[in-house]
Amino acid sequence: MMTAKEKEVIQAIEEQELFTFAQYDPEAAERTGYSDYSYWRSTIRVFLRNKTAVFLLILMTSLVAFTFIQPYLPGQKDPIKIHIDPNTGLQLRNHPPDKEFWFGTNSIGQDLWARLWSGTRTSLLIAIIVGIWEIVFGTFVGAIWGYVRPLEAFLTEAYNVISNIPTTIILMLIAYILRPSFQTMIIAMCATGWLGMARFVRNQIVIIRDREYNLASRCLGTPTGRIIVKNLLPYLVSVMVMRVALSIPGTIGWEVFLTYIGLGLPLNIPSLGNLLNEGRRVMMAPALRYQLFFPAVVLSVITVSFYVLGNAFADASDPRNHF
Amino acid sequence: MLKYSLRRLLHSLVTLFMVLTLVFLLMRLLPVEGYYGERADKLTPAQKEAILRKMGLLDPWYVQLRNFYLQLLRGDLGVSVIYRANVPVKEILAAKIPYSVAFGLGALVLSLVAGLAMGIHMAQNKGLFWDKFWTWYVVFINAVPGAVYLLFIQLYGTSITGLPMLFDRYNVRSWILPLVSMSLSGIAANAMWLRRFMVDELNKDYIRLARAKGMSSRAIMVKHVLRNAFVPLANYLPASILFTISGSIYVESLYSIPGMGGLLVTAISRQDNPLVQALVLIYSSLGILGLFLGDVLMAILDPRIRLEKQGGAR
Amino acid sequence: MRLARRVLPVLLLGALVLTGCKGAGPAPRKSGDVVGIYSGELTTINYLVTATTAEQSVAANCIDCLVEYDNLGILRPALATSWEVSPDGLTWTFHIRKGVKWLTYQGKEYAEVTAQDWVDAAKYILNPKNASQTADIVYRVIKNAEKYFNGEITDFNEVGVKAKDKYTLVYTLEKPVPYFLSMLTYCPFMPVNGKFLQEVGDKFGTDNEYLLYNGCYIFSVWEPHNQQVFVKNEKYWDAKNVHIPRLIFKFNQEAATLAPELFLRGEITGAGIPTDALDEWMKDPQKSKMVRPAETSFYTYFYAFNFNPKFPAEYEPENWKIAVNNLNFRKAIFHALDRRAALLTTDPYYPERMINNTITPKNFAAYGGKDFTQIGELAEISNRDSFNPELALQYRDKAKQELAGKVKFPVKVMMPYNTGSTSWTNRVQVVEQQLENLLGKDFIDIIPVGFPPTGFLNATRRAGNYALMECNWGPDYADPETYTDPFYPGSNYNWPEMAEGYLEPNGKTKYQNMVDEAKAEVIDIGRRYELFAKAEAFLINEAFVIPYSVGGGGYVATKLEPFTSPYAPFGVSSLKYKGQVVLDKPMSTEEYKAAYEKWLKDREAALQQEAAKAKK
Amino acid sequence: MSEPILSARDVVIKFSLRGQTLTAVRGASLDLYEGESVAIVGESGSGKSVFTKSWIGMLDANGWVDSGSILFEGKDLAKFKTEEEWLTIRGKKIAMVFQDPMTALNPLRTIGSQIQETLELHQGLRGQEAKRRTIEILAQVGISEPEMRYRQYPHEFSGGMRQRVVIAIAIACNPRILICDEPTTSLDVTIQAQILELIRKLQKELKVTLVYITHDLGVVANVADRVAVMYAGEIIEYGTVEEIFYDPRHPYTWALLSSLPQLGIKGQPLYSIRGTPPNLFNEIRGDPFAPRNPQALKIDFVKSPPFFQVSPTHYAKTWLLDPRAPKVEPPEIVKAMRAKYERYAV
Looking at per-residue pLDDT, the higher value among D270 and C325 belongs to: C325
Where are the domains positioned within chain C? 34-272+553-615, 296-552
Query: Which residues, listed in sequence order, are joined to residue C249 by a DSSP beta bridge?
Result: C36, C228
| DSSP-derived 3-state class of residue A166 | coil
D233 in a domain, yes or no? no
Please report which confidence band the pLDDT of residue A232 belongs to, taking 50, 70 and 90 as the band edges: low
For residue D8, give the H/E element and its range: strand D6-17
Inform me whether the C-beta atom of residue C41 falls under 8 Å from chain B C-beta atoms. yes
Q: How many CA atoms lie less than 13 Å away from C63 in the CB half-sphere?
A: 29
Inform me whether the C-beta atom of residue C386 falls under 8 Å from chain B C-beta atoms. no
Q: Which residues of A touch B288 (CB under 8 A)?
A: 164
Residue D44 is part of a domain; what is its CATH number? 3.40.50.300
Q: Where are the alpha helices (DSSP H) in chain D?
A: 48-53, 83-87, 101-104, 111-122, 127-140, 146-150, 159-171, 189-206, 217-223, 241-246, 251-258, 332-345
- Asked whether B96 and B282 are in contact (CB, 8 A), the reply is no
pLDDT at D271: 72
pLDDT at C238: 92
- Alpha carbons C440 and A320: distance in angstroms, whole number: 66
**What is the domain extent for residue A76?**
43-321
- Asked whether C464 and C309 are in contact (CB, 8 A), the reply is yes
| DSSP per-residue letters across C78-139 | SSEEEEEE-TTS-EEEEEEPTT-EEE-TTS-EEEE--THHHHHHHHHHT-GGG--TTHHHHH
pLDDT at A227: 66
Question: Percentage of residues in chain A with pLDDT exceeding 90?
Answer: 16
A24 in a domain, yes or no? no
Burial of C153 (0-12, 13-18, 19+ CB in 10 A): middle
Average pLDDT over residues C7-35: 50
For residue D290, give the H/E element and its range: none
pLDDT digits (tens, 9 = 90+) for D230-284: 998 889 899 998 888 888 888 888 888 887 776 666 666 767 777 777 777 777 7
pLDDT at C119 over 80: yes
Q: Which residues of C touch A282 (CB under 8 A)?
A: 276-277, 280
Measure C96 CA to nearest chain B CA, in Å.
Answer: 31
Phi, psi of A274 (to 5 degrees): -65, -45
| DSSP per-residue letters across C347-407 | -SS-GGGGB-SSSSPTTS-EETTEEGGGSTHHHHHHTS-S--HHHHHHHHHHHHHHHTTTS
Query: Which residues, listed in sequence order, are joined to residue C102 by a DSSP beta bridge?
Result: C111
| DSSP-derived 3-state class of residue C454 | coil
- Alpha carbons B275 and B92: distance in angstroms, whole number: 9
- Alpha carbons D54 and D8: distance in angstroms, whole number: 10
Local confidence pLDDT in tens for the 346 residues of chain D: 578 899 998 999 998 876 788 888 988 888 999 889 999 998 877 888 899 988 988 888 788 898 899 999 888 988 888 888 888 888 888 998 888 877 888 888 888 888 888 888 888 888 888 899 999 999 988 888 888 899 888 888 888 888 899 999 888 888 899 999 888 877 888 888 888 889 889 988 888 999 999 888 778 887 888 999 999 888 989 999 888 888 888 888 888 888 777 666 666 676 777 777 777 777 777 788 888 887 788 888 888 888 888 888 899 988 888 888 888 888 877 888 788 777 765 5
B86 in a domain, yes or no? no
Contact assignment for A180 to C419 by CB distance below 8 Å: yes
Q: Which residues of B touch A284 (CB under 8 A)?
A: 155
* Highest-pLDDT range among A27-31, A91-95, C178-182: C178-182
- Alpha carbons A145 and A125: distance in angstroms, whole number: 29
Is the CATH number of domain C296-552 3.40.50.300?
no
Inform me whether the C-beta atom of residue D82 falls under 8 Å from chain B C-beta atoms. no
The structural domain count of chain A equals 1
The structural domain count of chain B equals 1
Closest in B19, B140, B291 to A165, CB measured: B19
**Do D218 and D285 have their domain in common?**
no
Q: Where are the alpha helices (DSSP H) in D247-331?
A: 251-258
A11 in a domain, yes or no? no
Inform me whether the C-beta atom of residue B209 falls under 8 Å from chain D C-beta atoms. yes
- Alpha carbons C458 and C4: distance in angstroms, whole number: 13
Inter-CA distances, A73 with A57, A68, A106, D259, Å: 23, 10, 22, 72
Measure A8 CA to nearest chain B CA, in Å.
Answer: 45
pLDDT at C25: 43
Weakest-pLDDT range from C339-348, C496-505, D264-273:
D264-273
Eight-state DSSP code of residue A98: -
Q: Which residues of A touch C555 (CB under 8 A)?
A: none
- Asked whether C322 and C406 are in contact (CB, 8 A), the reply is yes
Mean pLDDT, chain C, rounded, equals 88
Q: Where are the alpha helices (DSSP H) in chain A?
A: 4-12, 15-18, 26-31, 39-49, 51-69, 112-147, 149-164, 167-177, 182-209, 212-219, 224-227, 233-260, 272-281, 290-317
Inform me whether the C-beta atom of residue B215 falls under 8 Å from chain D C-beta atoms. yes
pLDDT at A214 over 80: no
pLDDT at A209: 66
For residue C297, give the H/E element and its range: strand C296-305
The structural domain count of chain D equals 2
**Do D50 and D194 have their domain in common?**
yes
Q: Which residues of B touch D16 (CB under 8 A)?
A: none
Phi, psi of D237 (to 5 degrees): -160, 140
Looking at per-residue pLDDT, the higher value among A302 and C523 belongs to: A302
> Which phi-psi region, left, alpha or beta, contains residue C316 (left: φ > 0; alpha: ψ -120 to 50)?
left
Residue A119 is part of a domain; what is its CATH number? 1.10.3720.10
Measure B145 CA to nearest chain A CA, in Å.
Answer: 5
CA dihedral C8, C11, C14, C18 (to 10 degrees): 20
For residue A22, give the H/E element and its range: none
**What is the domain extent for residue B301?**
95-310
pLDDT at A230 over 70: no
| Interface A:D, Cβ pairs < 8 A | 74
Query: Which residues, listed in sequence order, are joined to residue C303 by a DSSP beta bridge?
Result: C470, C546
Inter-CA distances, C504 with A44, C500, C509, C511, D189, Å: 83, 11, 6, 10, 110
| DSSP-derived 3-state class of residue A84 | strand
Closest in B85, B166, B258 to C267, CB measured: B166
Residue B253 is part of a domain; what is its CATH number? 1.10.3720.10
Contact assignment for B212 to D95 by CB distance below 8 Å: yes
Q: Which residues contact A43 (CB under 8 A, 6 or more apart)?
A: A238, A313, A316, A317, A322
A214 in a domain, yes or no? yes
pLDDT at A233 over 80: no
Measure B214 CA to nearest chain D CA, in Å.
Answer: 5
Which residues of B touch chain A, with CB atoms under 8 Å apart?
15-16, 18-19, 22-23, 26, 29-30, 139-140, 142-149, 151-152, 155, 246, 249-250, 264-265, 268-269, 271, 276, 279-280, 283-284, 287-288, 291
For residue B257, the Cα-to-chain-centroid distance in whole angstroms is 17
pLDDT digits (tens, 9 = 90+) for C356-378: 999 999 888 888 778 899 999 99
Inter-CA distances, B262 with B179, C194, C227, C519, Å: 16, 37, 15, 48
Please report which confidence band the pLDDT of residue C571 belongs to, taking 50, 70 and 90 as the band edges: confident
- Alpha carbons C181 and D230: distance in angstroms, whole number: 112
pLDDT at C570 over 70: yes
Measure C568 CA to nearest chain B CA, in Å.
Answer: 23
Pick the residue of A49, A50, A164 with the most B CBs within 10 A to test the interface with B by mutation: A164
Q: Which residues of D touch A25 (CB under 8 A)?
A: 291
Please report which confidence band the pLDDT of residue C8 belongs to, taking 50, 70 and 90 as the band edges: very low
Closest in C279, C429, C452 to A263, CB measured: C452
Local confidence pLDDT in tens for the 314 residues of chain B: 677 788 888 888 888 888 888 878 877 776 666 666 655 566 667 777 777 777 777 788 888 889 888 988 888 888 888 788 888 898 888 888 888 889 988 998 999 999 999 999 998 888 889 999 999 999 999 899 888 898 899 888 888 888 887 787 788 888 999 999 989 988 998 999 899 888 888 888 888 888 888 888 888 888 888 888 888 888 878 877 777 776 678 888 788 788 888 888 788 777 787 888 888 888 888 888 888 888 888 888 887 775 554 433 33
pLDDT at A206 over 80: no
Q: Are strands C80-85 and C91-96 parallel, antiparallel or unpaired?
A: antiparallel
**What is the domain extent for residue D325?**
247-345
**Do D165 and D257 have their domain in common?**
no
Q: Which residues of D touch A320 (CB under 8 A)?
A: none
B273 in a domain, yes or no? yes
Nearest to D186 by CA among D203, D172, D166: D166
Q: Which residues of D touch B209 (CB under 8 A)?
A: 98, 104-105, 166, 169
Q: Which residues contact B238 (CB under 8 A, 6 or more apart)?
A: B289, B290, B293, B294, B297
ipTM exceeding cut-off 0.85 for this assembly: no
For residue B27, give the H/E element and its range: helix B2-27
Nearest CA in chain B to A173: B268
Q: Which CATH class is domain C34-272+553-615?
A: alpha beta
Inform me whether the C-beta atom of residue C602 falls under 8 Å from chain B C-beta atoms. no
Q: Which residues contact A14 (CB under 8 A, 6 or more apart)?
A: none
Contact assignment for D83 to B215 by CB distance below 8 Å: no
B144 in a domain, yes or no? yes
pLDDT digits (tens, 9 = 90+) for C207-241: 999 999 999 999 999 988 788 999 999 999 999 99
For residue C99, the Cα-to-chain-centroid distance in whole angstroms is 33
- Alpha carbons B253 and B103: distance in angstroms, whole number: 13
Contact assignment for B271 to C455 by CB distance below 8 Å: yes
* Highest-pLDDT range among A3-7, A152-156, C444-448: C444-448
Omega before residue C410 within 30° of 0, cis: yes
Provide the chain A residues 267-286 that lie in CB contact (below 8 A) with chain C: 267-268, 278, 280-286
Inter-CA distances, C229 with C232, C250, C272, Å: 10, 9, 20
